Amino acid sequence: MKFSAVALSAIAPLASAHYFFDSFIVDGVATKSFEYVRDNTRQAKYNPTKWENVRDDMTPDVNDFRCNKGAFTFAGKTRTMEVKAGSKVGFKLGVSATMRHPGPALAYMSKAPTTAAAYEGDGDWFKIYEESVCNKNGAFTSDAWCTWDKNTIEFTIPKDTPDGEYLLRVEHIGVHGAHVGQAEFYNSCAQIKVTGGGNGTPGPMIRFPGGYKKTDASFNFSIYNGYKDYPMPGPAVWTGGNSGSANETATGPIPATSSAASSAVTSAAAAATSAAVSTATSASTATPTPVIVPGTGSNNSTAQSSKCSRRKRALRRSRVFRVEQ
């Protein structure tokens, strides 16, 4: 859908509060409006998706929550951008708008069975990016949040992402009304083809709809009365490796490092040392046991003397015997 200059100028003030992502960014360069990002059929493109005070029949519980209302009808008209794994990419808001709602930004990917242009996004999705508060000293209702008053959300495609075509989903959540169940979702999808990737196993996975629940703490959160930690929605961020975390790529047991284990090792070493010292001490102080070696020592002399005596007695008996004959 094309906009006239008059139409754009008319909705720009409204889009400063409500907004939509229409441009894909690769290595800092923004593409044309809805060239690589799927368009939508909202009555007003900047309308948010909500559970309460619903607009255009759009809630997070419908299939169109994946890429925005009617986005799949534009899939065939949307170009697919080739992106090298490890590249910095992002999304830019349309009509010179900025994000004037406090809240987190997230990015998800879902691999297409064939081409991105033929994919509705009804498969598994994994998260590759999230950000919430960047300035705890700022106003928690405004500039404490990383995206406050910005017009882009940028992040990196993990280097381990397997090659193939994907839907890349950006999302900004306005939480200014979340304390009364009125979180606002602003999301779009780009069609990309990842090249030069790796053999990682993305995860954990979720699906849209179904990945978010109305009762989740993320969407029932108050930004009022001071700073508090925000519970990010969805699964853990996958940055590479196997299923969500570098820690999960470990292949062997981790040696014990607790104080009990250290004590046990120390005690065992001490016992071994003590035993060795005791043995050495005993060996040095004990009375040696005589060892008789044939042909040496006093015991051999005694044996020789006894042998001579027997020979003499035998000789005398022999002489007596000859005389008597």
Measured CA to CA in angstroms, residue 8 lies from 20, 70, 103, 174 at distances of: 13, 21, 25, 23
pLDDT of res. 286: 42
The continuous run of DSSP H or E covering 169 comes out as strand 164-174
pLDDT of res. 311: 52
Measured CA to CA in angstroms, residue 270 lies from 5, 38, 260, 275, 317 at distances of: 84, 70, 15, 9, 71
208-264 pLDDT, tens digit per residue, is 999 999 999 999 999 999 999 999 999 999 999 997 443 333 333 333 333 333 333
pLDDT of res. 312: 47
For the record, the structure tokens of 183 come out as 């979180």
Give 288's DSSP letter: P
205-228: b or e for each residue (b if 16 or more CB lie within 10 Å)? bbebeebbeeebebbbbebeeeee
pLDDT over 80 (residue 206) = yes
d(CA 205, CA 243): 9
Helices (DSSP H) in the chain: which residue ranges?
5-15, 259-285, 297-324
Q: What is the average per-residue pLDDT within 147-172? A: 99
pLDDT of res. 17: 75
110-149: b or e for each residue (b if 16 or more CB lie within 10 Å)? bbbeeebbebebeebbbbbbbbbbeeeeeebbeebbbbbe
Mean pLDDT of the chain: 81
Let me know if 12 is exposed, middle or buried by CB neighbors in 10 A (0-12, 13-18, 19+): middle
126-150 pLDDT, tens digit per residue, is 999 999 999 999 999 999 999 999 9
Q: Average the pLDDT over each of 9-18, 142-151, 227-236, 277-286 and give the range with the smallest value.
A: 277-286
pLDDT band of 61, cuts 50, 70, 90:
very high
Residue 314: CB atoms within 10 Å? 9
All structural domains of the chain: 19-243 (2.70.50.70)
In what side-by-side order are the strands of the sheet with 29-30?
Answer: 29-30, 21-26, 88-93, 152-156
Count helices and strands in the chain by DSSP H and E runs: 3, 9
pLDDT over 90 (residue 11) = no
